[in-house]
Amino acid sequence: MSSQESPRELRRLYETRFAGRREYRERVWRVLVRDYFDRWLPRRGSVLDLGCGHCEFINNVLAPIRLGMDLNPDAVARAAPGVRILAQSCADRWAIDDESLDVVFTSNFFEHLPSKRDVRAALIESRRCLRSGGRLIALGPNIRYLNGAYWDFYDHHVPLTERSLGEVMVETGFTVEQQLGRFLPYTMSTGRVQAPIWTLRLYLKLNILWPIFGRQFLIVARK
């Protein structure tokens, strides 16, 4: 993660933001991985969780090679056995070999970077490290549908939509396969209300609800 906040500040921010929600977030991500994102994840291959935070996504991935990248010191403590954490800026050259990844996944991360230049740098590194045919999957808050609520988080810096992020993905050499402006609700795992997990399973199946409640975009792009 490349951030304007120091590792110590990141730790404090996320400890406060997710206080009392750890178990619920883990359950949410278990469902998201198994019921939705699993279709793009290799059983034999390598997956990087870019901006992995507390590792809720990567801990639920079944690929034999699992990596996380984040400057938050808690990432190491929260990583499951077998998950390797890279504590570095995503805007610098990654400590990963060329064409060695099958999937780069990132959720609610690009908006935390200091600038669009950092976003582009992370995309360039993603493409370098992905194998031919590998995918970049990006989930994040869509400022088009959030207005002022986008800035309710202190460490949001870069406003993005599925169109603006998709545009720079194409410019950096990706082919966009799927581009949804409305996917998940905004504060699904950070809000005060913790909806029953069965409602998330139902929501993922009923995509007619996405245009009503979705405030996060989803982009799937191929190298």
Cβ atoms of 103 and 41 within 8 Å: the answer is yes
Looking at residue 112, its amino acid is H
pLDDT tens-digit readout, 134-171: 999 999 999 999 988 888 888 899 999 999 999 999 99
- Fold type of domain 7-222: Rossmann fold (3.40.50)
Task: Give the span between the Cα atoms of 37 and 41, in whole angstroms.
Answer: 7
Of the candidates 61, 120, 65, the residue with the CA atom closest to the CA atom of residue 90? 120
Average pLDDT over residues 168-184: 98
pLDDT tens-digit readout, 44-102: 999 999 999 999 999 999 999 999 999 988 899 999 999 999 999 999 999 999 999 99
Domain boundaries, the chain: 7-222
